[in-house]
Amino acid sequence: MQTIAQSIGGEVITTKLAMKMEDTLQAFAVRAACFMGELEVPFSEEFDGHDFGATHVIAYVGDEPAGTVRVRWFQSFAMPERLAVIQRFRGHSIGHLLLERVRKLAESRGCSTLYAQALPGDVRYWERQGWRRLVAEEAGAGAKRIVAMIKAVDPSKPLPEFEAPEQLSLRHEPQLDASGLPLGTVSN
């Protein structure tokens, strides 16, 4: 188990769930800094339409928003994604702290499985935190190829048989509905 820093330069590290508009804006600002500012992800991809159907967790160093992760909830798993830590706060396991907060949150909701989609270059990071590949095969070529990773919410209980819909969960949620009803349609 990694040691998680409790403070950086005397500033206490804390996490909380976004409860207010301002909290959510902090989460979005951290993601914009990392994904748009550093990795040049376009706005329309970063803010993909799932943000208001998800739970946001924010990490603070003192008062300063330092990291964030978004969790989407499915019937058979909880899905942390958009994990970001501001550059100058990296190297203090803030990402680990955020994922641990997600794990506990999932536990409190009776969820047994965490599922994430990692870039091939990040698989080692997830593995160090107790995640494993859903499918054992190598990720293959292409830096944008996504590797499905899973982790048991309760480390003492082995994961149940489960197959994640690998392609499905990246899409906009309304598209998950196989009925073909357009977004916003009222149905009984």
> Which residues make up the interface to other proteins (CB under 8 A)?
25-26, 28-34, 36-38, 40, 42-44, 46-47, 63-65, 86-88
Determine whether 111 is exposed, middle or buried from the number of CB atoms within 10 Å of its CB (0-12, 13-18, 19+): buried
Look up tokens 């990296």; give the residue: 90
Q: From the CB of 133, what's the least distance to other proteins, in Å?
A: 30
Q: From the CB of 60, what's the least distance to other proteins, in Å?
A: 10
Taking the least distance from each CB to other proteins, the nearer of 86 and 118 is 86
Q: From the CB of 98, what's the least distance to other proteins, in Å?
A: 16
Taking the least distance from each CB to other proteins, the nearer of 28 and 115 is 28
Taking the least distance from each CB to other proteins, the nearer of 44 and 167 is 44
Taking the least distance from each CB to other proteins, the nearer of 30 and 106 is 30
Close Cβ partners of 149 (under 8 Å, ≥ 6 residues apart): 115, 116, 117, 118, 123, 126, 127, 131, 132, 133, 134
Shortest CA distance to 126 belongs to which of 135, 141, 116?
Answer: 116
Taking the least distance from each CB to other proteins, the nearer of 46 and 166 is 46
Instruction: Give the full edge-to-edge strand order of the sheet including 78-85.
Output: 7-8, 11-17, 55-61, 64-73, 78-85, 113-118, 147-152, 132-133
Q: From the CB of 78, what's the least distance to other proteins, in Å?
A: 25
Q: From the CB of 21, what's the least distance to other proteins, in Å?
A: 9
